[in-house]
Structure 1
């Protein structure tokens, strides 16, 4: 009996020593710190959005394209839509395959050099109660948007467009057009044109867009009362113009007068935290002033607006310093500031801290994953990292943990294994976000650790 007790004590002591050794080994943490990459680069859902046809040998790479379509182009005959022509002319299949997303605006009145209609002839024959004009803006026809027949036909149009584009996320942003010159929800009614409809009708147009594009982010030109209550984003087509942008920012901060209503615009100072801000560069100022002599002012206006994209009028790449500076100021900039791993029973535990060092959030809840890979990029394991990108505001960090089980032990001696991190675009199923950090990045994934 005494011998048995001694053996038990020896075994217990050995077990304790072994357990202590295992805990010590398992608790060793290997930490890496990553420096920021401050270079300019296009990134998923942000940056410049040139028109779908604005291509050339010197056109820089982009992840967004602007598609403006007039009703006349969309529905030349009642109930007959020009899908095939639009698809081919605008190369939409190729853009989708490349992972490029769209900024969409539908127009009913685009002023031009010659008298013309931007609505279909069949609709003009049904309504025809708008205003032909020849103004400082140009020439064109401004419809009566309150006309019941016009509204009913427009509801059918938006439903058809929404169904045709689908819900795969190809259309990321929809700028509410439809009403007013250039779809900007203003009409020169003081010069005799039929005015915009009252607020209740305008709100019905907003509701049409919400129903037609449930997966897209909707943006309006001004902070209308109806938009403020529905979580819409905003866009500024005079970006870079100090006076006009200051007025626009004033509306966002304080609300203001609209169409005879002193409270027609509602304060939306925090809208950018949950909904994107877009627009395009002003045409009133030269590129030289926007991107060289007045670059500091342009950057200040873009950052104060928390903008995520600019288009179809974008910076001219000939002014490369300014082009890159504005590009870097648009949207989020995500960086893993620190990552650590340690062995645990059954695998390795990783702790990752992700920071947003940009001027806006990433507004889509795209999956954030950690991967165990071979050195050639073959995925051995994928695990989600519990970080919600829309909740990561500029200046904030989020830390999360995950466990990988596919890597061999000891991992640090395996030259052909690595741990990477990526953010998946659901439209393509591919990792699509570039991290603003100094580390190897391949196939949309950032290398956190590699065997040595």
Structure 2
């Protein structure tokens, strides 16, 4: 692992390593419980980039599309063995981009019915050009080059290498089909491949196929590649290349799914490469003779084609050429549009986590995204970045670019979390909305729309409202919203969840003979009710956000949630009307004795719990009449936390990122801590001197000078270790670059939550940024001169104006 780290040893710092450049760890600076916002689902977005059907290069068609296709002969680019003119290709590529589309391209040497694509210098050099004329099978005449010719093969490799140098990672390119070999660049010379003994054998050798695969795979590491089909004798699984089926819907399905023994997907399965779609794209062309009938509504048996939906499901195809869509109308058009949307990725945001902030607070955002499509999104943030944005009405006020990789979201329908923190969002007080947008590298390109109701036509997915208040104003916490399900109104019945017509219940006030106490533990809200004997039914009301303006209005509170007889309900509107929606999958546990009741509710079911959250309880008889109620009581936090210092954990030290401008704390722990499995890890930061703050540094603290950065077993984890069995890191960015920030003393300790719910900790260590920078600078421990000089210019000289400059050299690498 590159870099150097400041190590903690016996309470003092010894210079061992530091980082001059690190990747940003997407963890919040203050990992408090952030407010969850359910993002309402919507229809799949039509016309998303890099997927669906498209009609070659035409744009004016009824099916929204984002891709275009074009062929080009190699001779239009290559004029000598190492001489290339990309102007014609560039013109074509830019024309495609001007329409807001990405291009899929293929170069060829031999296109039946067209002029040869072989560069003239090869022909002049004596390359054997074999004439054919097959109007019935191939559509015309042409010249098939001798693909085994060594000079030809070298020129081909030179072409591929230059292609990669010029265009790998060009956002105007969606996908590249390898092409080049065989008729139309489809990697076969049918019928001149030995299957017809009356014709010459022009089959292309395995050696040539491998040379082309190797050249493309080595030259393109960003742009997705696809090839016509696997070939015998070649392990295609080792190549970073997908496939395209140019007879899609005719000879696609594997034999097990009713297809031919020689079909496209059967060949892929024979090569044990059927999981290729998880990392590399599958595309192709709807079989041309079937294009006029395959979406018409006739059955596959009647039309002589394969079930199109089954073909998509088995191959996980992302895109298809279909020239006939230019003429589609009526039912055919509607079916084609549905089929187009089913292809490829389909991203949906499930939840967003953020809070209202002050003008000086950091902005934290986490989103849970799932892929409900059949294939991944294949590009990372370098080409397709995600931005966080703040809008005031329709105007975008601020944007920040993330390093979130959408390609990390598997097409499995499960949530994948992405988070980031903006330490200084620099927002004025006011009401805004927060959202995310995927940036298309093509100017005015198709937006990448999420399958959510609030996806905007401008590309921004609205995640909800956010309020910014002046520093010192009372913090307002946004309300968690759960999706409205079929309305269920608890009724007068002995069956807990029966759905019937509404019955207005008596709401008479009675003497509060009951008593209730509620405690917020780490994962649950625990409510203890005394004097509950005689009640048949019960209702526990919860004002989770401490806001009278949300939820069911009663008792001078706004109750968003109610637990009735072990079932959790949600009240969406802000009124006193009796209308509740059942929350499915809620974690509720009710324990009853003769005179007492214990109700435990999973905090995850409630979204979040604000300071001052309240509960209220009703006891009801067998006729649903109110017997008695409690007073409204505030939920108390359970702060009891025994401090266990474990030898199975340690703080390794600190790093300074000169690229991001921030401090990172590195810590390690064993696979088991105190003999138990670990369910959560994190860091606890304290502001101030160790002797004043250490006693408040535990996981359930309520100190406003202590911040708990919660993580999971995987978030922030290093691939290698500094010590113990595993190592983690947490990066805190510099907020102001001011002297006070660099000289303020901070304390830190690591913690681990164990399987039984208890916690274990490291000792507390004190540090400040200036001291760490000084040790790194004096020891010449940065990786390069720029990083060394950064410490002087940005930290040391700011704190101490007469700080002495030290020349950088590589003579010292490690000190202890």
TM-score normalised per structure 2: 0.46
Q: Measure, in 1, the Cα distance between the counterparts of 2:221 and 2:417.
A: 31
Shift of 1:371: 1.8
Change (3 A) 1:244 1:339: closer
Question: Which residue in the other structure is 2:386 paired with?
Answer: 368
Q: Secondary structure at the match of 1:401?
A: strand
Question: Which residue in the other structure is 2:321 paired with?
Answer: 311
Gaps of 5+ in 1: 1-25, 256-265
Change (3 A) 1:124 1:286: same
Question: Which residue in the other structure is 1:353 paired with?
Answer: 368
Question: Which residue in the other structure is 2:460 paired with?
Answer: 445
Shift of 1:195: 2.5
Higher mean C-alpha displacement, 28-37 vs 174-183? 28-37
Change (3 A) 1:284 1:127: farther
Question: Which residue in the other structure is 1:320 paired with?
Answer: 333
Change (3 A) 1:193 1:302: farther
Change (3 A) 1:294 1:182: farther
Question: Which residue in the other structure is 2:208 paired with?
Answer: 201
1:236 to 229, 242, 245: 245
Question: Which residue in the other structure is 1:5 paired with?
Answer: none
Gaps of 5+ in 2: 1-31, 301-305, 468-816
The reply to whether residue 221 of structure 1 matches residue 241 of structure 2 is no
1:249 to 242, 255, 265: 265
Change (3 A) 1:203 1:237: same
Question: Which residue in the other structure is 2:132 paired with?
Answer: 133
Question: Which residue in the other structure is 1:31 paired with?
Answer: 37
Q: Paired residues, what number?
A: 405
Q: Is the 8 A contact 1:274 1:363 kept in 2?
A: yes
Q: Is the 8 A contact 2:168 2:223 kept in 1?
A: no
Shift of 1:59: 6.0
Q: Measure, in 1, the Cα distance between the counterparts of 2:253 and 2:353.
A: 48
TM-score normalised per structure 1: 0.79
Deviation sequence 1:176-226 (CA, Å, 0-9, x none): 111111111111222434423321222111122224433211111112424
Shift of 1:439: 0.6
Query: How is 1:422-433 mapped onto 2 (pairs within 5 angstroms)?
Result: 422-426=437-441, 432-433=447-448
Deviation sequence 1:49-72 (CA, Å, 0-9, x none): 4333x34x4465432211211224
Q: Measure, in 1, the Cα distance between the counterparts of 2:46 and 2:343.
A: 10
Question: Which residue in the other structure is 1:12 paired with?
Answer: none
Query: How is 1:287-302 mapped onto 2 (pairs within 5 angstroms)?
Result: 287-294=292-299, 297-302=307-312
Question: Which residue in the other structure is 1:104 paired with?
Answer: 105
The reply to whether residue 63 of structure 1 matches residue 66 of structure 2 is yes
The reply to whether residue 382 of structure 1 matches residue 395 of structure 2 is no
Q: Measure, in 2, the Cα distance between the counterparts of 1:61 and 1:242.
A: 27
Change (3 A) 1:436 1:407: farther
Q: Secondary structure at the match of 1:105?
A: strand
Shift of 1:440: 4.0
Q: Measure, in 1, the Cα distance between the counterparts of 2:445 and 2:287.
A: 35
Q: Secondary structure at the match of 1:293?
A: coil
2:160 to 155, 158, 161: 158
With a CA cutoff of 8 Å and minimum separation of 6, indicate the structure with the bigger relative contact order.
Answer: 1
Deviation sequence 1:234-293 (CA, Å, 0-9, x none): 11000111567731111112x2xxxxxxxxxx2101100011101111012242234432
Q: Secondary structure at the match of 2:157?
A: helix
Q: Measure, in 2, the Cα distance between the counterparts of 1:141 and 1:419.
A: 59
Q: Measure, in 1, the Cα distance between the counterparts of 2:444 and 2:337.
A: 29
Q: Measure, in 1, the Cα distance between the counterparts of 2:40 and 2:253.
A: 40
Q: Is the 8 A contact 2:285 2:321 kept in 1?
A: yes
Q: Measure, in 2, the Cα distance between the counterparts of 1:129 and 1:82.
A: 24
Shift of 1:399: 2.2
Structure with the higher helix share, 1 or 2: 1
The reply to whether residue 281 of structure 1 matches residue 290 of structure 2 is no
Higher mean C-alpha displacement, 26-35 vs 359-368? 26-35
Question: Which residue in the other structure is 1:435 paired with?
Answer: 450
Q: Secondary structure at the match of 2:293?
A: helix
Change (3 A) 1:167 1:400: closer
Q: Is the 8 A contact 1:350 1:401 kept in 2?
A: yes
Change (3 A) 1:343 1:304: same
Question: Which residue in the other structure is 2:703 paired with?
Answer: none
Q: Secondary structure at the match of 1:342?
A: coil
Question: Which residue in the other structure is 1:180 paired with?
Answer: 182
Change (3 A) 1:209 1:314: farther
Change (3 A) 1:441 1:352: same
Q: Measure, in 2, the Cα distance between the counterparts of 1:277 and 1:198.
A: 24
Q: Is the 8 A contact 1:242 1:301 kept in 2?
A: no
Shift of 1:161: 3.4
Please identify the structure whose Cα radius of gyration is greater: 2
Higher mean C-alpha displacement, 122-131 vs 204-213? 122-131
Q: Measure, in 2, the Cα distance between the counterparts of 1:222 and 1:205.
A: 14
Change (3 A) 1:64 1:33: same
Q: Is the 8 A contact 2:295 2:333 kept in 1?
A: no
